[in-house]
Amino acid sequence: MTVYCLASGSSGNSLLITSDQGALLVDAGIGVRTLKRWCGERGVALENLSGILVTHEHGDHSVGAVPLAVRYKVPIVATPGTLAALQASDKRDFPVQPLSPGEETGLGAFGTRALLTTHDAAEPCGFRVDVGSASLVYATDTGSITPEVRAACCGASLLVIEANHDIHRLRFGSYSEHLKNRILARTGHLSNNAAADLVLGHTLEHGPAAVWFAHLSEVNNTPGIVRAYWKRRWQEAGCAASPAAVEIAIRDTPSLVWHQGALAVQKSLF
């Protein structure tokens, strides 16, 4: 398995997962022309995708999904609520495969399970994707860490976890009170605190992990803030070094790449 972060932020989100036996997209919040170019540069033709996993219907996760599905006859895999929301906004016929939270399905060589998340969308979810001995957990756009996401992290090779905002920066920033409350709500977005607590708790119990912190706010976060907060948390926990190989996903352009067999520790990062 190889995982490519194509984009991660409020202006667009998409992850490409490849193996010797096929490829998947997780979210398609980018236009089809750009997706075609970026996937093609990584050796994947859109018509050869086994599926498009869509976490929820918000445009920064789905704007390219229906056009891609219509043009290339690739099924959109999402919860029934998300599929209904997509079909309500675009009346064209496109292939679908419903997948409720907790359910599993096979997409070519990939085993896929939908994970319950909490966000202000019709029926949002995260995903765990397995191929061979490698596995990915993807959980962004959730205001809380659900037991299902936490359990799915066990044994995963790569965790892609939202670290949307620094709470202090958000609370005292320029956003309206309504928007601040929306982001901070249980159906909003994960803070750096919540993301770091998840990763620290997981690694202390289950051992080192490879982690991407993703979906950073352009206004209320920076990669430097995320790294500093993560360092403080593992130092406060008494760790001699970071218990995870942490990288930060970039918003508007392809950035991170993870290859199966990559180290789950990265002492030089800090």
% of the chain beyond a pLDDT of 70 = 97
270: pLDDT strictly greater than 50: no
* Residue range 36-57, pLDDT digits in tens: 999 999 999 999 999 999 999 9
Q: How confident is the model at residue 226 (pLDDT cuts 50, 70, 90)?
A: very high
Q: In 10 A of CB 84, how many CB atoms?
A: 16
Domain span including residue 37: 2-269
Q: How confident is the model at residue 63 (pLDDT cuts 50, 70, 90)?
A: very high
Q: How confident is the model at residue 121 (pLDDT cuts 50, 70, 90)?
A: very high
Is residue 15 helix, strand or coil? strand
The pLDDT value recorded for residue 266 is 47
Q: How many domains, in total, are found in the chain?
A: 1
The pLDDT value recorded for residue 24 is 98
119: pLDDT strictly greater than 60: yes
The pLDDT value recorded for residue 262 is 74
89: pLDDT strictly greater than 50: yes
The pLDDT value recorded for residue 263 is 61
Count the alpha carbons within 13 Å of 111 in the hemisphere toward its beta carbon.
11
The pLDDT value recorded for residue 264 is 59
Task: Please report which residue ranges of 41-165 form alpha helices under DSSP H.
Answer: 59-62, 65-72, 80-89, 147-152
Model pTM score? 0.95
Is residue 268 helix, strand or coil? helix
268: pLDDT strictly greater than 50: no
Average pLDDT, the chain: 95
CATH number at residue 234: 3.60.15.10
Q: List Cβ neighbours of 269 (8 Å cut-off, separation of 6 or more).
A: 227, 242, 245, 246, 247
Report the pLDDT averaged over residues 234-251.
95
